[in-house]
Amino acid sequence: MTTATIGAPVAAPAGEGRIPLRSHLRHIGALVRRNALQIKQDPESMFDALAMPIIFTLMFVYVFGGAMFGPGQQEAYVNYLVPGLMAMTGLNIAMAVGSGVNEDFRKGVMDRFRTMPIARSSVLIAKIVTEIGRLLVAVAVQLAIGFALGLDVKTSVFHLLGAVALSVVFGSALMWIFILIGLTMKTAQAVQGMGMLVLMPLQFASSIFAKPTTMPGWLRAFTEYNPLANLADASRNLVIGGPVAHSVWLTLAWSVGITAVTAPLAVRRFRNKT
């Protein structure tokens, strides 16, 4: 399927509000199919979703597991680490979205979309739907390697699915941030550089890899407000047991807040970008 199947290139519509909801959903579906076909034609684009979860899990379990939980306690560290890594996976996938959007503009793909009688938001929403699919694949790989290393779900399958859903919700919110960055930066390299500035503090100043009780007071205070730490705590407690209400509601609040602020800005930037 090519972009031509969505509609013939004509002048952009005067306003998105004139597009009926059914047509809007049909446009999103067509764009999602296009994005999926692109992945099929370029399977290397799935490398980060398939390989990175395995690399990160093995590296942290066998390099840091003994130091974190004591010699020979790698299996116990797996139960602590893997639920937190699901949160980090969403962040990594989200950063790739920004680079992809920037590359699409550089290649002129987005200019073609903007000449079509479709809502500007449908292009970006379709991108997020496609990336959610990649995120689900990455989380599935993450859990598979976790189970192979001894991950023990001490709650229930439904709690585990809840942890996956929470990671997807927060990951999709982060995608709007990186789409906005991708639409703002001039090159994909600049997007990646800006992404690393966001990614590194959120990942390592959190409870993903180590318990905050081992951190100095000023850093421990930061983790309490770090949304990624809240997501890691929620996912971990959903999988191995523990209080979840506070961290789940905080994660959902962060997700709604991030989306409410950055999604309109991203759509506006997409509409006005030259």
User: Is residue 6 very low, low, confident or very high in pLDDT (cuts 50, 70, 90)?
Assistant: very low
* pLDDT above 70 as % of the chain: 91
Phi, psi of 78 (to 5 degrees): -60, -45
**154, exposed or middle or buried, with CB in 10 Å at 0-12, 13-18, 19+?**
exposed
CA distance 68 to 209: 9
**Secondary element (H or E) of residue 103:** helix 74-107
| 40-63 pLDDT per residue, tens | 887 777 887 888 889 888 988 888
Residue 119 has pLDDT above 80, yes or no: no
Mean pLDDT computed over 14-27: 68
pLDDT for residue 104: 78
Q: Which two tokens stand for residue 142?
A: 């993450």
Residue 20 has pLDDT above 80, yes or no: no
pLDDT for residue 91: 83
Residue 166 has pLDDT above 50, yes or no: yes
pLDDT for residue 2: 43
Whether the CB-CB separation of 251 and 170 falls below 8 Å is answered with: yes
pLDDT for residue 18: 66
User: Is residue 146 very low, low, confident or very high in pLDDT (cuts 50, 70, 90)?
Assistant: very high
Task: Compare 1 and 121 and report the one with higher pLDDT.
Answer: 121
Ranges of beta strands (E only) in 119-233 are: none
pLDDT for residue 264: 92
CB neighbours of residue 137 within 10 Å: 16
Mean pLDDT computed over 222-229: 88
Q: Which two tokens stand for residue 54?
A: 């395995």
Give residue 185's region: left, alpha or beta (phi > 0; psi -120 to 50). beta
User: Is residue 274 very low, low, confident or very high in pLDDT (cuts 50, 70, 90)?
Assistant: low
Mean pLDDT computed over 190-215: 84
**166, exposed or middle or buried, with CB in 10 Å at 0-12, 13-18, 19+?**
buried
pLDDT for residue 257: 95
- Highest-confidence segment of 4-13, 19-28, 116-125, 133-142: 133-142
- Out of 110-124, 126-140, 208-222, which region has the weakest mean confidence (pLDDT)? 110-124
CA distance 250 to 121: 27
* pLDDT above 90 as % of the chain: 29
State pTM to two decimals. 0.83
Mean pLDDT computed over 234-248: 91
**Secondary element (H or E) of residue 14:** none
User: Is residue 76 very low, low, confident or very high in pLDDT (cuts 50, 70, 90)?
Assistant: confident
| 92-114 pLDDT per residue, tens | 888 888 888 888 777 777 767 76
